[in-house]
Chains A and B, each alone.
Chain A
């Protein structure tokens, strides 16, 4: 794959005429996907795909073509050459684009993470064996993922990783006859049968708690502990325009009041982009290399917005090489420190009486101006009294402002944070993830 991409690039760059610029980005995978239901296989799909994005620029004009490569050089070269010709025709008639940023050589890098992955058949066997005593629904992705960038100025980045994730949930009926579930994820580069079995065993622990009678919790406000997976979902909403300069300038940022220093988050809240987590490459889809670490929100105050090269051009500011969407690719919410922190093992004690929320579901902005988010509780969520789990709850809808749940209502955070790997597979398997701590809130509003 590397040879195909680099040969295509080398040949296409020789075809360029004076004043023309060309950048190539490769997003490819060879992945076995297996879906499980009732601890058995529902569907298995192997996917081999390679998408090459051609960004063509001539002065103040830009055209982007995505081409699915066949893997056969002659065919792929003929197609990409015909698209180069088409791009030339388009720039002759397209109106001027004032915000095209000239291409640069953002250097070279090479990361190739090879692993000893199991065969898909071995993985299926081990999952079915480890889950033969429980009702499991889950999803395995296993294989090679590639991101690479070239441009006509000599820029050359390659990132490939052989890795897997097994994202699953376990189900039971409690004494009220209601379905209850707990979530688990086993992910990494080195598959280990014992670790997989242990991971599933840990999730089974939750099932025992979920078998208790359902606790009726009327809508209203409660003390809440959000486990790291739930916090990752909550702060993940910042990626929906919250940290984007372009969204702010267009009037569609949900963090307008934070950006304009009218409101603040709690001083314990710090969020950064941190490629040191090793979840995704530092180069973006233009091959630009983002800083290894960039503080976005520090001690509750906005420090930086994510700025793409295009936004930098449009709004006359410096870029921090964010991708076009200006969202975090490797989000890290820092754990608590000092008196504002506690070990995650003490989460129930610190909560005392209130709700333990394992996961959230289907979040969306309900009011941009006040950064209000609505969503649902999901999976392992419990009513807790005096530090003891009383029983699971029926799912509740919440509708809360981030200025409360990351601001005035924050009591403390756990003293360590946990990685939630990206399990998104729309179009292709994604890279990246989020790291977040647990979060203890004095008051959180449920509306339905």
Chain B
């Protein structure tokens, strides 16, 4: 009989009260804010039926923010003692004093609205009520279930559980308390025969990520999915290469996530448009004058920034400057109407924005980030889209991505595809890739799946910023049909 050990871990942390800590700093600056982040990040993996890795990070610290002569300065510290926080405050002030004379823009406290509220992400089953060995057993069984034959040379199950508590308080009365429980999983089988190797996963690497509890890992559902993953990895092993030609393209929601992320999300970030990101992730083809004028896509294209979707990976009530988060249209009937810019970017650019001033953790200052960017449903069913396609391809599960620094020329690859001939799905093909240019591509959108067709995915790994930050994003979408796209396979 095994001892019961719960998945929940409660290390012996000294208690920390952000309001009390702030009260001891208030007199040392005209305006000061404190953002406390306490995060546990569990990562557990199994490979080929065997235990692979079990790690958990316990990260706790504070970002001190000061306002000096129209400039916001930052200092992050994990020393939560009064002395440690005071050192951080003095450091933030010291740099801010000079930087304010050399700053690119002058801000006011309008960019830090007074906010009060809280947020708790939705879940049914928490970690304390889940046993560690049962959780691990599900992962182990998943790797075994994917091994559909001896040709499956590797199976892997990964689970990430993230518990985050964030409190933002300021000397002018903000108090925002937000708690999150998030799960991301990945199951992957690799098949090999001769010199051919093919992999299939559960909707693409860690794309299945949500704000939810351990109900995400329902064993029966997971094992059923893993059985299909193993089967499809084998199917790819003997599949012909994706042809090289131009044809209609149906993208599944688990691939739409990368298309939305790279060719809508990033180019609409206002800090990119303003050039902050030019030295690292890049600029944007979108110009400030494009808002309200650029026909970004066909009339069927409607895109929202929506941090209010229950369970989506990047939902929240307030961003990291206390701006209340609301659903907003970025693109309406194909027309670009709003950017992904925080109150600071809105002040600098004059472009309407959203509540997306987000930081990766206590040790990074907030910048414009994506959060949830969703393609709104249309009126077609997948069956109708297939039926209306004479010569096409249906592509699922992203596995390769690349786009230029202005977010124009992209190339994306996927795990699995089926040809469409005369309105019917036919041959499975391996190594499907396609390429295009952002605005012409979105203007070739000719059908959008209906509300029943929408699926929700995301990524724990959106990279951007100097210093660099990895942040969580969510993308929901139905299937979408694009006309006459260049596709190609592997080889050479």
* Given A40-B104, A250-B153, also A49-B95 (CB < 8 A): no
One of A90, A361, A364 near B5 (C-beta < 8 A): A90
User: How far, in angstroms, from A124 to B101 measured CA to CA in the complex?
Assistant: 11
Asked if residues B76 and A48 are in contact (CB atoms below 8 Å), the reply is yes
Asked if residues A376 and B3 are in contact (CB atoms below 8 Å), the reply is no
Closest Cβ of chain B to A52, distance in Å, is: 10
Complex contacts, A63 vs chain B, CB 8 Å: 54-55
One of A34, A83, A395 near B58 (C-beta < 8 A): A83
Q: Which of B59-118 contact A (CB under 8 A)?
A: 59-61, 71-81, 84, 88, 91-92, 94-96, 98-99, 102-104
Asked if residues A49 and B190 are in contact (CB atoms below 8 Å), the reply is no
Asked if residues B402 and A374 are in contact (CB atoms below 8 Å), the reply is yes
* Given A124-B99, A366-B433, also A70-B78 (CB < 8 A): yes
Closest Cβ of chain A to B466, distance in Å, is: 4
Complex contacts, B190 vs chain A, CB 8 Å: 250-252
Q: CB of A315 within 8 A of chain B?
A: no
Q: CB of A94 within 8 A of chain B?
A: yes
One of B50, B96, B492 near A401 (C-beta < 8 A): B492
User: How far, in angstroms, from A81 to B79 measured CA to CA in the complex?
Assistant: 18
Complex contacts, A137 vs chain B, CB 8 Å: 275-276, 278-279
A423-448 contact mask (Cβ, 8 Å, vs B): 1 or 0: 01111010000000000000000011
User: How far, in angstroms, from A363 to B401 measured CA to CA in the complex?
Assistant: 8
Complex contacts, B409 vs chain A, CB 8 Å: 376, 395, 397, 448
Q: CB of A153 within 8 A of chain B?
A: no
Complex contacts, A90 vs chain B, CB 8 Å: 5, 54, 132
* Segment of B171-179, B195-203, B451-459 in the binding face: B195-203
User: How far, in angstroms, from A37 to B52 measured CA to CA in the complex?
Assistant: 44
Asked if residues B413 and A81 are in contact (CB atoms below 8 Å), the reply is no
Complex contacts, A447 vs chain B, CB 8 Å: 411, 435
One of A47, A71, A98, A141 near B76 (C-beta < 8 A): A47
Complex contacts, A120 vs chain B, CB 8 Å: 95
Q: CB of B13 within 8 A of chain A?
A: yes
Complex contacts, B403 vs chain A, CB 8 Å: 362, 376
Q: Which of B1-25 contact A (CB under 8 A)?
A: 2-3, 5, 9, 11-14
A94-124 contact mask (Cβ, 8 Å, vs B): 1 or 0: 1111110000000000000000000011001
Asked if residues A169 and B469 are in contact (CB atoms below 8 Å), the reply is no
Asked if residues A448 and B136 are in contact (CB atoms below 8 Å), the reply is no
B139-176 contact mask (Cβ, 8 Å, vs A): 1 or 0: 01000000000000110100000000000000000000
Asked if residues B196 and A41 are in contact (CB atoms below 8 Å), the reply is no
User: How far, in angstroms, from A152 to B129 measured CA to CA in the complex?
Assistant: 34
User: How far, in angstroms, from A368 to B51 measured CA to CA in the complex?
Assistant: 27
Asked if residues A370 and B492 are in contact (CB atoms below 8 Å), the reply is yes
Closest Cβ of chain B to A77, distance in Å, is: 10
* Given A48-B88, A361-B405, also A37-B490 (CB < 8 A): no
Complex contacts, B379 vs chain A, CB 8 Å: none
By beta carbon, the residue of chain B nearest A91 is: B54
Asked if residues A257 and B58 are in contact (CB atoms below 8 Å), the reply is no
Interface residues on A, range: 35 or more
Q: CB of A179 within 8 A of chain B?
A: yes
Closest Cβ of chain A to B45, distance in Å, is: 11
Complex contacts, A51 vs chain B, CB 8 Å: 57, 59
By beta carbon, the residue of chain B nearest A60 is: B51
Asked if residues A96 and B55 are in contact (CB atoms below 8 Å), the reply is no
User: How far, in angstroms, from A113 to B55 measured CA to CA in the complex?
Assistant: 32
* Given A82-B11, A171-B278, A250-B154, also A121-B5 (CB < 8 A): no
Asked if residues A50 and B78 are in contact (CB atoms below 8 Å), the reply is yes
User: How far, in angstroms, from A97 to B46 measured CA to CA in the complex?
Assistant: 10
One of B76, B133, B406, B435 near A45 (C-beta < 8 A): B76
Asked if residues A262 and B58 are in contact (CB atoms below 8 Å), the reply is no
* Given A94-B54, A250-B154, A374-B411, also A41-B102 (CB < 8 A): yes
Which of the listed residues B55, B190, B411, B431 has the most CB atoms from chain A within 10 Å of its own CB? B411
User: How far, in angstroms, from A368 to B405 measured CA to CA in the complex?
Assistant: 24
Q: CB of A33 within 8 A of chain B?
A: yes
Asked if residues A64 and B54 are in contact (CB atoms below 8 Å), the reply is yes
Q: CB of A375 within 8 A of chain B?
A: yes
Complex contacts, B131 vs chain A, CB 8 Å: 93
Q: CB of A32 within 8 A of chain B?
A: yes
Q: Which of B379-424 contact A (CB under 8 A)?
A: 400-406, 408-409, 411, 413
Sample of 7 more A-B contacts, CB < 8 Å, known A46-B95, A75-B14, A251-B190: A41-B103, A47-B467, A95-B133, A137-B279, A366-B433, A376-B405, A395-B404
- 17 A–B contacts from the bound complex (CB under 8 Å): A42-B103, A46-B88, A70-B80, A78-B12, A95-B50, A97-B51, A137-B278, A137-B279, A171-B275, A252-B154, A262-B195, A361-B405, A366-B411, A367-B433, A369-B196, A395-B408, A448-B409
Interface residues of A (CB under 8 A from B): 31-35, 37-38, 40-51, 62-72, 75, 78-79, 81-83, 86, 89-90, 92-99, 120-121, 124-125, 128, 137-139, 141, 167-169, 171, 179, 181, 249-252, 256-257, 260, 262, 361-370, 372, 374-376, 378, 395, 397, 399, 401, 404, 424-427, 429, 447-448
